[in-house]
């Protein structure tokens, strides 16, 4: 599926296409948006589509007279499917079982539960982000789930499919910053390159359509066009050149 997408530094993680689908994409699928057609094509191409059980809280949230009926149907479906299909695998159990029994998961929607260490890592990365960027504190609640999904995807060796690229790239940066620089050594001259080497792309529905069509493009170049943050653009520029 990624044969025409460059660079290939992230492909060694993803021997088969696994995507952790964000709530905004699930909502678009519920409303018959472009994401629905993309999801059907992905499953036809033997992709594995994960969703976090946290999406049940995010989809169709509000007073009963304002919630879109399509979102109600979606979160009820996700709830029912998670009970019947896989008994709510934690992320680590999914990853280990998927390597042994890939045939069970190909072409399926799978519910996963972020592990306790995903929650802990997300909190630590978010605290680092808010310390580095005090203006983001007003968005802290909104960022919590995005950071959690980033950690869960990293653990599951899945790519995040989200139309909220900015938040997830921010989360990706700080999660990898914590991994590459646990002691906050700002004098490390290779830190940016180390982060870039571990920085998997975030894919939105537009990019996913192009991947399915087998278009040739550099995915980090495309992500740079969607960002204004200088620090993230610097990392994407390095990742753009990696082979």
Assigned domain for 233 exists: yes
Write the pLDDT tens digit of every residue in 183-211: 666 667 788 888 888 888 899 999 999 98
User: What's the chain's Rg over C-alpha atoms?
Assistant: 18
Give dist(CA 196, CA 30) in Å, integer.
34
Q: Give the tokens for residue 100.
A: 């042994």
Least confident of 89-93, 210-214, 228-232: 89-93
Give dist(CA 189, CA 102) in Å, integer.
40
Least confident of 35-39, 56-60, 227-231: 56-60
pLDDT confidence of residue 59: 81
Range ranked top by mean pLDDT from 42-51, 54-63, 181-190: 42-51
Assigned domain for 91 exists: yes
Confidence of residue 37 (pLDDT cuts 50, 70, 90): very high
Write the pLDDT tens digit of every residue in 22-31: 989 998 988 8
Give dist(CA 195, CA 77) in Å, integer.
37
Give dist(CA 35, CA 223) in Å, integer.
18
**Is the pLDDT score of 145 beyond 80?**
yes
pLDDT confidence of residue 15: 58
Assigned domain for 149 exists: yes
pLDDT confidence of residue 38: 93
pLDDT confidence of residue 8: 63
Other Cβ atoms closer than 10 A to 83:
11
In sequence order, what DSSP letters do the residues of 161-179 get, joined into one string?
Answer: E-S-HHHHHHHHHHHHHHH
Assigned domain for 2 exists: no
Are the C-beta atoms of residues 241 and 224 closer than 8 Å to each other? Answer: no
Average pLDDT for 62-74: 79
Average pLDDT for 225-230: 92
Q: Which residues have a Cβ under 8 Å from the Cβ of 23 and sit 6 or more positions away?
A: 54, 55, 58, 59, 145
Q: Give the tokens for residue 128.
A: 């680092």
Write the pLDDT tens digit of every residue in 71-94: 888 878 777 765 544 555 788 888
| Count of structural domains within the chain | 1
pLDDT above 70 covers what percent of the chain? 89
- Residue 205 in 3-state DSSP? helix
pLDDT confidence of residue 88: 57
Assigned domain for 25 exists: yes
- Stretch (H or E) spanning 228: none
We report the CATH number of the domain holding residue 209 as: 3.40.50.1010
Assigned domain for 196 exists: yes
Q: What is the mean pLDDT of the chain?
A: 84
pTM (global) more than 0.85:
yes
Q: State which residues form the domain around 31.
A: 7-241
Assigned domain for 1 exists: no
Q: Catalogue the E-assigned strands of the chain.
A: 5-6, 18-21, 48-52, 89-90, 109-113, 159-161, 202-203, 217-218
pLDDT confidence of residue 119: 93
Assigned domain for 92 exists: yes
Average pLDDT for 54-64: 77
């Amino acid at each position: 599926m990624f044969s025409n997408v460059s660079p290939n530094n992230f492909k060694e993680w993803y021997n088969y296409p696994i995507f952790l689908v964000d709530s905004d994409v699930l909502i678009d699928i519920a409303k018959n948006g472009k994401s629905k057609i993309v999801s059907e094509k992905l499953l036809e191409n033997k992709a594995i589509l994960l969703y976090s059980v946290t999406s049940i809280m995010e989809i169709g949230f509000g007073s009963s007279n304002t919630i879109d009926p399509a979102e109600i149907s979606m979160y009820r479906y996700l709830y029912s499917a998670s009970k019947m299909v896989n008994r709510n695998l934690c992320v680590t159990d999914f990853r280990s079982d998927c390597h042994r029994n890939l045939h069970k998961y190909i072409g399926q929607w799978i519910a996963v539960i972020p592990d306790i260490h995903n929650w802990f890592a997300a909190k630590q990365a978010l605290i680092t982000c808010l310390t580095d960027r005090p203006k983001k504190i007003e968005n802290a609640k909104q960022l919590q789930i995005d950071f959690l999904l980033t950690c869960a995807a990293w653990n599951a060796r899945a790519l995040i499919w989200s139309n909220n690229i900015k938040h997830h790239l921010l989360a990706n940066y700080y999660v990898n910053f914590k991994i590459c620089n646990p002691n906050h050594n700002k004098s490390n001259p290779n830190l940016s390159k180390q982060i870039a080497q571990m920085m998997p792309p975030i894919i939105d529905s537009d990019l996913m359509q192009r991947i399915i069509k087998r278009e040739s493009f550099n995915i980090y170049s495309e992500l740079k066009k969607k960002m204004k943050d200088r620090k993230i653009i610097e990392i994407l520029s390095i990742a753009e050149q990696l082979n």
